[in-house]
């Protein structure tokens, strides 16, 4: 026997043993990806779009949440359709610009928004962004339960029961344990956001007046006041908020989109924006009878008061559709907003974060959804809370928190080291920069007129 040669050769190293085990999360995402590749290979465009659609529709209809629909109703009841219909359309254009950048960022980097901020800017700015998100999400989540409670009150359901059923449905959605199934279930529920369209038809809106408002952009009735600027900020906060960036980017990653899917991601986001804009304008139109009949909504306690006040003008059916729409708005938004917090916390702590996880594997992820949901539900049941004021204020706060979130987004999508050829063009930067500028200017103006009401001469 030759020296150095063993009589029994050593076995080759088991390379598979050194690799991490394939998880259920990996299997489910790979299965979904195989369907996408098959549809693209067969050039089945509609099938491909159906498979890739979801994050854009959910984020846009999810942002048509309880406080947003109350803001739109307050707008219609206070100012009619003249100035605010084209203004709301503009805010949805802004939302599309922001979320299109979000789609590209997630599809190219395969990283969530919180994770990228920590990696590119360090812990200080990472925790700053997380604080921005957590404050906004908790406040907004509370208002979603206000909407659920309000819708229930219209039907005579006790507040505690509406809140309990709402919380149970949100937590039950976690039992699906697969992102694709969860997404489709929420999309089916989100379709009921369009209930505001038939509700508006019961108000018999003038199509010519709507078209004229969009084309001519009528002057501000009553001039610029603190109430007018507050509603402007509430309507911006009803369409462009930090949680949308965090949610859609993480959802794009969880769904498994790649750079090849950016086109379909844009279509998904644009379609969601169109649906949400139609529902928003319908809500304004549905509430205009209150404007026409000089009904003062300043003392309304919640969305239930809007439905009740609209019953003489929309009829029982129209008011019922309005109340059901408020409930849907709160439910879908609560599901997406609590999930965005769970995604962000998982990315920050490097814990596993996916709706494809089992509960044992995603304790922090699912626990975040459960704790935040129960906390918001309990806050809403505090006696004597100023619900309508809180609802409108949350959208104003969302607008103020949006500027730093947008700055992080712009910096990331301009980072060619991670984005390559998919980095922002000068046109995208001009659009994004203009949105940041508008939000900063209106925020400063709001602060000045709040601190010094005499500036407006009112």
DSSP letters, 169-216, are HHHHGGGG--HHHHHHHHHHHHGGGGGHHHHHHTT---HHHHHHHHHH
pLDDT at residue 392, rounded to an integer: 62
Q: Which of the residue ranges 15-29, 66-80, 292-306 has the most confident prediction, judged by mean pLDDT? A: 66-80
Specify the range with the lowest mean pLDDT, choosing from 183-197, 248-262, 393-407. 393-407
441-449 contacts at long range (C-beta below 8 A, 24 or more positions apart): 442/229, 442/232, 442/233, 442/236, 442/399, 443/233, 443/399, 443/400, 443/403, 445/229, 446/229, 446/230, 446/233, 446/396, 449/226, 449/229
Specify the range with the lowest mean pLDDT, choosing from 54-58, 92-96, 269-273, 290-294. 290-294
Give yes or no for residue 2 having a pLDDT over 50.
no
Specify the range with the lowest mean pLDDT, choosing from 191-195, 232-236, 249-253. 232-236
Confidence bin at 21 (pLDDT 50/70/90): low
pLDDT at residue 453, rounded to an integer: 66
The residue behind tokens 């206070």 is 78
Provide the percentage of residues in the chain whose pLDDT is more than 70. Answer: 88
- Tell me what the mean pLDDT of segment 216-223 comes to: 72
Provide the percentage of residues in the chain whose pLDDT is more than 90. Answer: 38
- Tell me what the mean pLDDT of segment 111-133 comes to: 89
Per-residue model confidence as pLDDT tens digits over 31-81? 777 887 888 888 888 888 888 888 999 999 988 988 888 889 988 888 888
Confidence bin at 195 (pLDDT 50/70/90): very high
Distance CA 247, CA 355 (A): 12
pLDDT at residue 97, rounded to an integer: 95
pLDDT at residue 387, rounded to an integer: 63
Per-residue model confidence as pLDDT tens digits over 416-452? 999 999 999 999 999 999 998 888 888 788 777 776 7
- Tell me what the mean pLDDT of segment 235-241 comes to: 84
DSSP states of 266-287 as a string? HHHHHHHHHHHHHHHHHHHHHH
The residue behind tokens 């708005």 is 329
Specify the range with the lowest mean pLDDT, choosing from 148-152, 395-399, 403-407. 395-399
Distance CA 52, CA 324 (A): 29
The residue behind tokens 């059923």 is 165
Give yes or no for residue 94 having a pLDDT over 90.
yes
- Tell me what the mean pLDDT of segment 248-259 comes to: 90
pLDDT at residue 226, rounded to an integer: 78
Crossing angle (nearest 10°) for helices 66-79 and 226-237: 140
Higher pLDDT pick, 403 / 218: 403
Distance CA 156, CA 215 (A): 42
Residues in the chain: 458
Confidence bin at 245 (pLDDT 50/70/90): very high
Confidence bin at 3 (pLDDT 50/70/90): very low
Give yes or no for residue 315 having a pLDDT over 60.
yes
CA distances, 229 to each of 192, 234, 296, 443, 450 (Å): 30, 9, 18, 9, 10
Q: How many CA atoms lie within 13 A of 194 on its CB side?
A: 11
Q: How many CA atoms lie within 13 A of 316 on its CB side?
A: 1
- Tell me what the mean pLDDT of segment 333-339 comes to: 92
The residue behind tokens 């802004």 is 94
pLDDT at residue 385, rounded to an integer: 65
pTM recorded for the entire structure: 0.86
pLDDT at residue 239, rounded to an integer: 86
Per-residue model confidence as pLDDT tens digits over 368-389? 999 999 999 988 887 776 666 6
Every domain of the chain and the residues it spans: 52-414+425-456
- Tell me what the mean pLDDT of segment 379-403 comes to: 73
pLDDT averaged over every residue in the chain: 84
Going by CATH, does the domain composed of 52-414+425-456 fall within 1.20.1740.10?
yes
């Amino acid at each position: 026997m030759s020296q150095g040669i063993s009589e029994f050769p050593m076995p080759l190293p088991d390379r598979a043993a050194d690799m991490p085990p394939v998880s259920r999360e990996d299997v489910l995402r790979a299965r979904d990806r195989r369907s996408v590749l098959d549809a693209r290979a067969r050039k089945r465009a509609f099938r491909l779009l159906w498979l890739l659609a979801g994050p854009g529709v959910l984020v846009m209809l999810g942002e048509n949440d309880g406080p947003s629909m109350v803001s739109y109703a307050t707008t219609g009841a206070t100012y009619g359709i003249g100035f605010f219909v084209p203004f709301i359309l503009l805010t949805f254009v802004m939302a599309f610009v922001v979320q299109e950048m979000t789609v590209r960022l997630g599809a190219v980097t395969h990283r969530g928004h919180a994770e990228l901020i920590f990696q590119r800017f360090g812990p200080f700015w990472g925790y700053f962004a997380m604080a921005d998100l957590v404050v906004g999400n908790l406040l907004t989540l509370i208002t979603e339960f206000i909407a659920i409670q309000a819708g229930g009150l219209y039907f005579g359901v006790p507040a505690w029961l509406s809140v309990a059923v709402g919380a149970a449905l949100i937590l039950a959605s976690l039992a699906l344990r697969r992102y694709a199934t969860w997404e489709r279930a929420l999309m089916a529920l989100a379709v009921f956001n369009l209930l505001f369209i038939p509700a508006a038809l019961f108000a018999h809106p003038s199509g010519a007046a709507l078209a004229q408002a969009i084309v001519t952009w009528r002057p501000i009735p009553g001039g610029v006041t603190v109430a007018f600027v507050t509603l402007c900020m509430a309507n911006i906060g009803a369409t462009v908020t930090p949680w949308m960036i965090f949610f859609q980017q993480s959802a794009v990653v969880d769904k498994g989109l790649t750079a090849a899917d950016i086109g379909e991601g844009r279509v998904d986001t644009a379609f969601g924006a169109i649906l949400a804009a139609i529902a928003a304008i319908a809500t304004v139109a549905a509430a205009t009878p209150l404007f026409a009949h000089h009904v003062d909504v300043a003392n309304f306690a919640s969305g239930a008061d809007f439905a009740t006040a609209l019953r003489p003008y929309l009829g029982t059916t129209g008011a019922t559709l309005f109340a059901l729409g408020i409930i849907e708005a709160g439910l879908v938004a609560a599901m997406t907003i609590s999930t965005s917090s769970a995604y962000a916390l998982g990315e920050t702590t490097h814990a596993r974060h996916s709706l494809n996880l089992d509960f044992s594997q995603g304790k922090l992820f699912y626990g975040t959804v459960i704790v935040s949901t129960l906390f918001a539900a309990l806050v809403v049941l505090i006696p004597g809370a100023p619900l309508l004021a809180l609802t409108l204020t949350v959208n104003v706060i969302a607008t103020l928190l949006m500027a730093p979130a947008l700055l992080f987004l712009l910096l990331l999508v301009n980072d060619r080291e991670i984005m390559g050829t998919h980095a922002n063009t000068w046109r995208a930067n001009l659009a994004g920069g203009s949105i940041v500028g508008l939000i900063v200017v209106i925020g400063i103006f709001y602060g000045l007129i709040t601190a010094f009401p005499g500036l407006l001469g009112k």
